[in-house]
Amino acid sequence: MPQLALLYGRAWAALFGQLRRPPRAVCIQMVHSRSQVAEAVLTSQQKPHQEKSNFIIKTPKGTRDLSPQQMVVREKILDMVVSCFKRHGAKGLDTPAFELKDFDIAGQFDPMIPDAECLKIICEILSGLQLGDFLIKISWKDVRHEMVAKKGLAPEVADQIGDYVQCHGGVSLVEQMFQDPRLSQNKQALEGLGDLKLLFEYLTLFGIAEKISFDLSLARGLDYYTGVIYEAVLLQTPAQAEEEPLNVGSVAAGGRYDGLVGMFDPKGHKVPCVGLSIGVERIFSIVEQRMKTFGEKVRTTETQVFVATPQKNFLQERLKLIAELWDAGIKAELLYKNNPKLLTQLHYCENTGIPLVVIIGEQELKEGVIKLRLVASREEVAIKRENLVAEIQKRLSES
């Protein structure tokens, strides 16, 4: 999971401007296209007595080219992430220095409500991507440090809490800790337990409490976190046993960083923040490997209808027909040939996954109909020309 790194000054200036806007500022840091479409670096290596120049096309370091199939998969992942962010009220913020998918909540709010929503967002995205079972681990190490250094809790009491946390419990574990006299007699411990109980109450209301687990082995390597931190990992199920293990680490992560924005404000204004990052590239690697393992095919276009003909000299009729479909908002295409063979056209539709074919020939033109072919079943029906668009739209809406 790519961790949120320190942004360059200009990027942080833009971010700070957003975070300072009341009452709530949520930002999405957009992924830029330079990792998908690499700039071609052409190096001329013309040598003496050579008439032709040799060009070496290089991909910039840190980037890679993606095939059309890979682009489709990656765009679906990004669409899922962005749609979830927007569903939770996100505002867009473009920071060209980085290629992340982040969601951050900034401002003064009641305890644990924003934290719980961030965890809910991670669950929604990972569930929507259908990556399999997953678990969100919450580290206690940083929380223990906060209780000792910030809230004045005695280290031995914090260690007692740590012993409980290793049990990987939820609300029931917190209730059990409330009953422990070693903890219940300490005011600071009770405050910490109250926050934990409140968090799990919200997670239970969100229906995701079973996806959360405390894990002392988790340690985020960045110093600016000030509270609970979390990372999401995928769990391999028996159905996935035939898959080759792919060690990608966490696929999402985040936490609370109440002091970070103040580091970049000349006046030192502090803005409480909590956020998350989605590991788009790691998720893409997982999906790509599973597609290779199970031989899944990906459509590289969204074409809905193919315009075909079985006869020669029908290019003009095909062009008029496809223009009619385009004007109706239907995604359509044809072969760029004057006289393509019908079998070639039908094979193209089957290979590319186009669901419908409209066929026009001399007989159809004479009768004022268009033949509509369902590619999957190879069923064909004759449709009156004036009803063609409505019939196609109906069938597409039902599919």
Amino acid 17 reads G
395 marked as part of a ligand binding site: no
How many angstroms separate the CA atoms of 204 and 196, rounded?
Answer: 12
How many angstroms separate the CA atoms of 386 and 363, rounded?
Answer: 16
Q: What confidence score (pLDDT) does residue 55 get?
A: 63
8 A C-beta contact, residue 140 and residue 165: yes
8 A C-beta contact, residue 242 and residue 293: yes
Residue 82 has pLDDT above 60, yes or no: yes
CATH 3.30.930.10 domain locations along the chain: 68-238+248-294
8 A C-beta contact, residue 140 and residue 158: no
- As a whole number of Å, the CA-based R_g of the chain is 29
Q: How confident is the model at residue 316 (pLDDT cuts 50, 70, 90)?
A: very high
220 marked as part of a ligand binding site: yes
What's the mean per-residue pLDDT of the chain? 79
Answer with the residue of higher pLDDT: 343 or 298: 343
Q: Find, among 247, 232, 236, 246, the residue nearest to 277 by Cα.
A: 232
CATH 3.40.50.800 domain locations along the chain: 305-398
Q: How far is CA 341 from CA 299, 345, 358, 371, in A?
A: 23, 6, 15, 16
124-183 pLDDT, tens per residue?
999 999 988 999 988 654 455 555 665 566 676 666 665 665 666 667 777 877 787 777
Q: How confident is the model at residue 343 (pLDDT cuts 50, 70, 90)?
A: very high
- The yes or no reply on domain 305-398 and CATH 3.40.640.10 is no
Q: What confidence score (pLDDT) does residue 291 get?
A: 82
38-51 pLDDT, tens per residue?
333 333 344 445 55
The three-state secondary structure class of 93 is strand
Instruction: Strand 212-214: give its sheet, edge to edge.
Output: 91-93, 25-29, 101-106, 273-278, 252-256, 229-234, 134-139, 212-214
Residues in the chain: 399
How many angstroms separate the CA atoms of 310 and 308, rounded?
Answer: 7
Lowest mean pLDDT, pick from 129-138, 159-168, 248-257, 354-363: 159-168
Predicted TM-score of the model (pTM): 0.73
How many angstroms separate the CA atoms of 381 and 175, rounded?
Answer: 67
How many angstroms separate the CA atoms of 325 and 319, rounded?
Answer: 10
- Mention the CATH class of domain 68-238+248-294: alpha beta
205-232 pLDDT, tens per residue?
999 999 998 765 666 666 778 778 899 9
Backbone angles phi, psi at 370, to 5 degrees: -130, 135
Q: Which two tokens stand for residue 217?
A: 């082995």
How many angstroms separate the CA atoms of 182 and 161, rounded?
Answer: 9
Q: What confidence score (pLDDT) does residue 31 get?
A: 40
* Mean pLDDT, residues 354-379: 96
Residue 97 has pLDDT above 60, yes or no: no
Q: What confidence score (pLDDT) does residue 148 get?
A: 62
Q: How confident is the model at residue 359 (pLDDT cuts 50, 70, 90)?
A: very high
225 marked as part of a ligand binding site: yes
Q: Which two tokens stand for residue 82?
A: 């962005």
Answer with the residue of higher pLDDT: 384 or 23: 384
